[in-house]
């Protein structure tokens, strides 16, 4: 019985110390550091489009890839604006929920991608390209949200979307 009187308070103290805020905060800091280091090794891309465009006029989007790391990084240019229109790599949806029809070509690919399908970016550098969305999508007057949908193919991280109004 004396042993239980000693063990129970010791277990309670051990449980209290193991669940203390100091331990929980250090775990959160470690998780944040891991997330930051993962982000630092990823190529990040952004899209920009003028907020308003005229109907039946070119709708020019700028697609920029950033290498924020200290080493040369590569990405597959398939399903990006860095190759001629060959695939539907954007989802363009009206504010009413209707998707703009893709009218460009669709390429069949060999896997894995050959070496000339990759683009290299120097450390702390970026690459930009412009593409006319009206050449590949049937965009009528209205408001749209443009999202990149091919992260898994290109290896690029694109987390934002852009809005455009076509008048």
Q: What is the DSSP string of 26-80?
A: HHHHHHHHHHHHHHHTS-EEEEE--SEE-TTS--EEEEEEEE-SSS-EEEE-TTS
Same domain, 17 and 54: no
Tokens 């229109």 appear where?
A: 85
pLDDT per residue as tens digits for the range 40-50: 668 999 999 99
For 65, the enclosing helix (H) or strand (E) is strand 60-67
pLDDT band at 35 (very low <50, low <70, confident <90, very high): very low
Same domain, 28 and 62: no
pLDDT, mean of residues 30-44: 54
For 93, the enclosing helix (H) or strand (E) is strand 90-94
pLDDT per residue as tens digits for the range 104-153: 888 888 889 889 999 999 999 999 999 999 999 999 999 999 999 999 99
Q: Give the pLDDT of residue 41.
A: 66
Instruction: Give the structural domain span for 148.
Output: 41-166
Same domain, 27 and 98: no
121: tokens are 């970016």
pLDDT per residue as tens digits for the range 68-118: 999 999 999 999 999 988 899 999 999 999 999 999 888 888 889 889 999
Q: Rounded to whole angstroms, how far apart are CA atoms 7 and 42?
A: 50
**Exposed, middle or buried by CB within 10 Å (0-12, 13-18, 19+), for 48?**
middle
SS3 assignment, position 120: strand
Q: Say how many residues make up the chain.
A: 167
pLDDT per residue as tens digits for the range 4-27: 555 555 545 444 444 444 444 444
pLDDT, mean of residues 54-62: 92
Same domain, 74 and 106: yes
Q: Give the pLDDT of residue 17.
A: 43
What total number of domains does the chain contain?
2
Q: What is the pTM of this model?
A: 0.72
Same domain, 64 and 33: no
């Amino acid at each position: 019985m004396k042993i239980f009187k000693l063990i129970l308070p010791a277990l309670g103290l051990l449980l209290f110390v193991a669940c203390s805020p100091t331990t929980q905060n250090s775990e959160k800091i470690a998780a944040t550091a891991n997330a930051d280091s993962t982000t630092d090794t990823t190529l990040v891309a952004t899209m920009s489009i003028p907020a308003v465009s005229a109907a039946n006029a070119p709708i020019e989007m700028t697609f920029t890839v950033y290498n924020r790391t200290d080493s040369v990084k590569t990405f597959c240019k398939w399903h990006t604006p860095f190759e001629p229109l060959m695939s539907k790599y954007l989802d363009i949806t009206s504010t009413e929920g209707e998707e703009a029809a893709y009218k460009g070509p669709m390429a069949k690919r060999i896997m894995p991608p050959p070496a000339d399908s990759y683009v290299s970016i120097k450390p702390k550098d970026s690459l930009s390209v412009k593409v006319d969305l009206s050449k590949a999508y049937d965009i009528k007057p209205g408001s749209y949200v443009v999202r990149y949908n091919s992260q898994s193919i290109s290896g690029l991280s694109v987390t934002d979307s852009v809005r455009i109004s076509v008048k």
